[in-house]
Amino acid sequence: MSNSNPVTPILQLKDVKIAYGGIQAVKGIDLELYRGELVCLIGANGAGKTTTLNALAGTLGLAGGELIYDGEAISTMPAHKRLRRGIALVPEGRGIFTRLTVEENLRMGAYIRNDSAAIEEDLEKVYTMLPRVKERLQQVAGTLSGGEQQMVAIGRALLSRPRLLLLDEPSMGLAPLVVEKIFEVVQTVKDEGVTILLVEQNANLALEFAQRGYVMDSGKISITGSGEELLANPAVRAAYLGEAA
């Protein structure tokens, strides 16, 4: 294990700028994540949240600034190598391989691993966590409902045994009951010690679960604080929690 000092962040964003199709979507943000934390990133549509997560996972390059993960600069590391370091992203829209079966999707999550016995164990763990997935293993994943696909996407990410899990809008378009189930899973994962960065439109829900939160606005971080602080912050309540100021 590398640096396990609790005061050193597992992930650090230093003045990160990201340009996307000619426009600067993220205009210099600083953000820190500490080991074992669940931190959420909230903000309006187009604030740059998804862009930030994609840059963390390595599918988008930086236009400036630096990413430090576990004491190492990873700004130019390609996505497939970042996964090997333990950074997994559950992308916006789930990114299920619709033509592969559910089981094949899950096994793709373990692509970087060669410890087949442990992979089978982890698969079983995912099945117990997500029993509805287990009933559909041989089904082509494109036939699953949105909620089931989201569960497969999360299960798949877990099979890489991530140390840092990036979740992009896991509640998007899902019924409240399903969302509840998904957040139960997120909580379980957090309890196992995985650091989580959660992007959510549903700010209320996210802040309830998160220890800390960052509010993003037009490519910048406007407010930061603990989950409770942000929930109590009148500006946040007005802008993101649907309350009149």
Partner 1 sequence: MDTLLQQLLNGLVVGSVYALVALGYTMVYGILGLINFAHGEVLMVGALTALTVITTLMGVSPDMPPLLLLGIGLLAAMVVCMIVAFLMERLAYRKLRNAPRLAPLITAIGVSFLLQTLAMIVWGRNYHTFPQLISTTPMQPIEGVYINPIQITTIVASAIIMVGLVLLVTRTKLGRAMRATAENHRVASLMGVDVNKIISLTFVLGAALAAVAGVLFASNYGIAHYAMGFMPGLKAFTAAVLGGIGNLGGAMLGGIVLGLVEAVGAGYIEHLTFGFLNSSYQDIFAFVILGIVLIFRPTGLLGERVSDRA
Of the two residues 82 and 212, which places its CB atom closer to partner 1 in the complex? 82
Of the two residues 98 and 218, which places its CB atom closer to partner 1 in the complex? 98
What residue ranges in the chain does DSSP mark as E strands?
Answer: 11-20, 23-33, 38-43, 64-69, 72-73, 87-90, 164-168, 195-200, 212-217, 220-226
Of the two residues 160 and 195, which places its CB atom closer to partner 1 in the complex? 160
Shortest spacing between CB 144 and partner 1, in angstroms: 15
Residue 181 identity: K
Shortest spacing between CB 174 and partner 1, in angstroms: 19
* 3-class DSSP assignment, residue 80: helix
Of the two residues 88 and 221, which places its CB atom closer to partner 1 in the complex? 88
Nearest by Cα to 93 from 18, 33, 153, 39: 153
Shortest spacing between CB 84 and partner 1, in angstroms: 6
Is the alpha carbon torsion for 150, 153, 155, 157 positive or negative? negative
Token pair listed for 78: 């390609």
Of the two residues 109 and 227, which places its CB atom closer to partner 1 in the complex? 109
Shortest spacing between CB 57 and partner 1, in angstroms: 6
- DSSP for 64-75? EEEEEETTEE-T
Which spans of this chain sit near partner 1 (rule: CB under 8 A)? 57-59, 78-80, 83-84, 88-89, 91, 95, 97-100, 104, 107-109, 111-112, 156, 160
Residue 219 identity: G
Shortest spacing between CB 237 and partner 1, in angstroms: 34
